[in-house]
Amino acid sequence: MTPPFILYGLPHSLYTGPARAYLRKQGLPMVERSPRDPEFTGQVQPLIGRSIIPVLVTPDGQIVQDSIDIIDHVEASGARLSAYPEGPRQRFAAHLLQLFGSQGLLRSAMHYRWTYYDQQAAFLDHAFAAGAPAGAAQNVMRRMQSYLPALGVREETIPLIEQGFADLLAALEAHLSLHPYLLGGRPSIGDYGLFGPLYAHLGRDPVPSDIMKRTAPATYRWIERLHAPDLDLPDMPQAEGWMADDAVPATVEAVVLEMGREMGPELADKLAWLEAHYQRLAPADGEPVSAKPHQRTLGLAPSRYRGAPDEVGVQPYLLYVVQRAERALRELTGEDQAWAQDLLARAGLSAVGAPRSARVDRRNHIEVWARA
């Protein structure tokens, strides 16, 4: 018998969620294991050079790190249910929403997990005990809590974060009350990208999941649907395939507008910071983006969040995800390109597609600077 895929991850991990949901949808034989597993710590981790999840080990022994790369690895092998829409507009919209989920919702996800720790301590203590060595869970959780300021979670921003979460749920609810997934009857990379924070943090942790269940039941149902091994459409049997004629409905555009309100200014400021850093550094092609493989944040960029002054940590991984949306943007021509530019302008996301020299690639499981 063919050995299964092995996914090293955790239920409460934001980036494990998309990989797990995608592999389930493909019907692939899969076993999920904790990063505490001896094979991970003894064999896999030394090869990837850092302690990070998710990591996929394929039946033929290949190692793939990061949910985006895991999805693309399976797609390249021939996915049963491709996450990439065939139409160029839908493909661009899906990439944009993948960026939103992967990067733009980190603030909300971490705020609701750690600001409300006391109200959900039993749940979080149980979750983190499963992924940390005996007695180490509290140290791991304290380290996670220490990230809040760099994510822009401060006393003065908390009311804005919570209003933003409410506004996003309202936009998603308007769409998901009518459609099972973002672009029709099957999940796209946009669905999987948003699923990461909306499942692992906001849809599981007691405080935000209660808000979602009470105010956005169709969105919670979408989470259940994405986690199922099939398309899970008994309540929407009429949905099938991608929306016709490469349509991106107004309800999806409304989610993009929320994306702009949530992350537009900081996206522009972070990308500008990365470009200036790249120009000062003048790195060689393939040079690691940070001094140590586990270092994610390079510095702090002044910015604004929903009108309030802010300062946020800058991670080169952001550029890795942005570049994917920009490739999809460049594939658009004529009226499709005009539509995309208008949508980006209305959302305050014109930093996507703006000229820059800095590029980030992933080689040998770490992010590196790349020359065009």
> What percent of the residues of the chain are helix, what percent strand, and what percent coil, each to the nearest 5?
55, 10, 35
Provide CATH code, domain 88-369. 1.20.1050.10
Determine the average pLDDT of the residues in 217-226: 98
Could you tell me if 229 and 25 are in contact, meaning their C-beta atoms sit under 8 angstroms apart? yes
Could you tell me if 194 and 105 are in contact, meaning their C-beta atoms sit under 8 angstroms apart? yes
Q: pLDDT tens digits, residue range 25-82? A: 999 999 999 999 999 999 999 999 998 999 999 999 999 999 999 999 999 998 999 9
pLDDT for 229 equals 96
Q: pLDDT tens digits, residue range 282-312? A: 999 999 999 888 888 999 999 999 999 999 9
Is the alpha carbon torsion for 295, 267, 14, 184 positive or negative? negative
As a whole-number percent, the residues of the chain with pLDDT over 90 amount to 92
- The residue type found at 290 is S
Residue 135 CB partners (closer than 8 Å, separation 6+): none
Determine the average pLDDT of the residues in 202-207: 98
Could you tell me if 291 and 221 are in contact, meaning their C-beta atoms sit under 8 angstroms apart? no
- Distance between CA 269 and CA 260 in Å, rounded? 13
pTM: 0.96
pLDDT at 133 over 80: no
pLDDT at 371 over 90: no
Q: Domains of the chain: which residue ranges? A: 5-78, 88-369
Quickly state the pLDDT bin for 130 (edges 50, 70, 90). Answer: confident
Report phi then psi at 52, rounded to 5.
Answer: -155, 150
CA-angle at 170, arms to 164 and 173, nearest 5°? 140
- Distance between CA 42 and CA 39 in Å, rounded? 5
pLDDT at 21 over 90: yes
- Distance between CA 262 and CA 23 in Å, rounded? 29
In three-state secondary structure terms, 368 is: strand
pLDDT for 135 equals 78
Provide CATH code, domain 5-78. 3.40.30.10
pLDDT at 134 over 90: no
DSSP state of 5: E
Helix runs in the chain, H state only? 16-25, 38-39, 45-48, 67-78, 88-99, 106-114, 121-129, 137-146, 158-176, 189-200, 206-215, 217-227, 250-281, 317-330, 334-347
Nearest to 20 by CA among 96, 74, 93, 95: 74
- Distance between CA 124 and CA 114 in Å, rounded? 9
- The residue type found at 333 is T
Element of type H or E holding 372: none
Is the alpha carbon torsion for 42, 47, 49, 53 positive or negative? negative
Structure tokens at 355: 């000229």
Quickly state the pLDDT bin for 165 (edges 50, 70, 90). Answer: very high
Could you tell me if 100 and 92 are in contact, meaning their C-beta atoms sit under 8 angstroms apart? no
Q: pLDDT tens digits, residue range 236-268? A: 988 889 999 999 999 999 999 999 999 999 999
pLDDT for 237 equals 81
Determine the average pLDDT of the residues in 227-240: 91
Nearest to 165 by CA among 221, 114, 104: 104
Q: Which residue do the tokens 């019907």 mark?
A: 27
Same CATH fold, 88-369 and 5-78? no
pLDDT for 240 equals 83
Could you tell me if 50 and 366 are in contact, meaning their C-beta atoms sit under 8 angstroms apart? yes
pLDDT at 200 over 80: yes
- Pairing relation of β-strands 30-33 and 5-8? parallel
Residue 54: cis peptide before it, omega within 30 degrees of 0: yes
Partnered with residue 302 across adjacent β-strands are: 311
- Distance between CA 187 and CA 81 in Å, rounded? 9
Could you tell me if 227 and 44 are in contact, meaning their C-beta atoms sit under 8 angstroms apart? no
Residues in the chain: 372
Question: What b-and-e string marks burial along 87-121, b requiring 16 or more CB atoms within 10 Å of the CB?
Answer: bbbbbbbbbbbbbbbbbbbbbbbbbbbbbebeebe
Nearest to 256 by CA among 187, 325, 197, 309: 325
